[in-house]
């Protein structure tokens, strides 16, 4: 009986993961929007699983504050919040800058090559003018840089912050994205790292994240104001 039970548990886990990744993709491509109520049955049919894996996947997303559960009503996608996005960027800034000493300490040719590849992929997405590729390759660039520190807990925390940005704010980031300046700032970050210049790398990261944060917050604040005035 034990092997059978283990296989059954593994199968349930696989279905939950399938539902989780499918819902993440829908959120990323704005097929599910902030404020929208989740219809379990429709999602389960679309994904090709039962409702149980869908509910389990939503519980995972609730844990990272992507969705919320309202008693006797169900799950909803959380609304856009200027306050939250400010906190996300502030925390992201602290995390990324704090990882710089470890990045410089552990840097080798392999690490340089990994970040060069990440930058090339980001540059290609910019040239292609593909929004979704651009934000994914931007995240990959920053996560690659952070991973070089070998500070696994902080890197995991940074990934969770990117999840919030990509799953809750991708539509808003689309309208407020910065292409030209961000590419130049990524290049500066890479060069600072290659030169093993800790002070310059910290300053480059701080300037980049600060610039993006201020631009996004300004645009989102204006968007929220416009929405309020339209009612």
Domain harbouring 106, CATH code: 1.20.120.530
The answer to whether residues 103 and 136 touch, using CB atoms and an 8 Å cutoff, is no
Q: Do residues 87 and 163 both lie within one domain?
A: yes
Q: Which residue has the tokens 């995991």?
A: 156
* CA–CA separation, 114 and 119 (whole Å): 9
pLDDT tens digit string along 70-80? 988 888 888 77
Residue 4 has pLDDT above 50, yes or no: no
Q: Do residues 121 and 148 both lie within one domain?
A: yes
Ranked by mean pLDDT, which of 1-5, 43-47, 169-173, 211-215 comes out on top? 43-47
Q: Do residues 94 and 17 both lie within one domain?
A: no
Choose the weakest-confidence range: 5-19, 59-73, 115-129, 164-178: 164-178
What residues contact 203, with CB distance under 8 A and at least 6 apart? 192
Q: Do residues 106 and 219 both lie within one domain?
A: yes
Q: Do residues 207 and 107 both lie within one domain?
A: yes
pLDDT at site 72: 85
User: Which domain-ending residue is among 22, 48, 77?
Assistant: 77
The answer to whether residues 227 and 219 touch, using CB atoms and an 8 Å cutoff, is no
* CA–CA separation, 72 and 231 (whole Å): 28
* CA–CA separation, 115 and 194 (whole Å): 10
Helix/strand/coil for 31: coil
Q: Do residues 8 and 115 both lie within one domain?
A: no
Q: Do residues 30 and 133 both lie within one domain?
A: no
CATH number assigned to the domain comprising residue 57? 1.10.10.10
Burial class (CB in 10 A: 0-12, 13-18, 19+), 153: exposed
Q: Do residues 100 and 131 both lie within one domain?
A: yes
Q: Do residues 45 and 114 both lie within one domain?
A: no
Choose the weakest-confidence range: 4-8, 62-66, 221-225: 4-8
Q: What are phi and psi of 13, to 5 degrees?
A: -65, -40
pTM of the model: 0.76
Q: Do residues 194 and 112 both lie within one domain?
A: yes
Token pair recorded at residue 162: 């990117």
* β-bridge mates for residue 77, sequence order: 67
Task: Identify the domain containing residue 150 by its residue range.
Answer: 82-230
Whole-number percent of the chain with pLDDT over 70: 86
* CA–CA separation, 75 and 157 (whole Å): 24
Q: Do residues 151 and 109 both lie within one domain?
A: yes
User: Which domain-ending residue is among 77, 110, 141?
Assistant: 77
pLDDT tens digit string along 13-48? 788 999 988 988 888 777 887 788 888 888 899 999
């Amino acid at each position: 009986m034990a092997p059978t039970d283990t296989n059954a548990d593994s199968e349930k886990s696989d279905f939950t993961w399938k539902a989780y990744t499918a819902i993440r993709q829908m959120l990323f491509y704005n097929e599910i929007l902030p404020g929208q109520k989740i219809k379990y049955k429709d999602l389960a049919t679309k994904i090709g699983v039962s409702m149980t894996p869908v509910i389990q996947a939503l519980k995972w997303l609730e844990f990272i504050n992507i969705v919320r559960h309202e008693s006797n009503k169900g799950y909803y996608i959380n609304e856009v919040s200027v306050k939250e996005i400010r906190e996300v960027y502030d925390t992201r800034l602290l995390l990324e800058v704090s990882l710089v000493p470890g990045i410089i300490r552990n840097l080798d040719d392999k690490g340089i090559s990994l970040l060069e590849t990440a930058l090339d992929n980001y540059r290609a997405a910019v040239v292609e003018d593909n929004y979704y590729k651009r934000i994914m390759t931007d995240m990959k660039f920053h996560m690659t840089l952070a991973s070089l520190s070998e500070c696994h807990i902080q890197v995991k925390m940074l990934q969770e912050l990117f999840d919030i940005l990509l799953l809750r704010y991708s539509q808003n980031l689309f309208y407020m994205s910065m292409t030209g300046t961000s590419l130049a700032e990524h290049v500066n970050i890479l060069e600072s790292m290659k030169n093993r210049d800790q002070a310059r790398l910290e300053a480059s990261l701080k300037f980049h994240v600060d610039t993006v944060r201020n631009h996004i917050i300004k645009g989102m604040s204006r968007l929220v104001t416009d929405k309020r005035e339209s009612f």
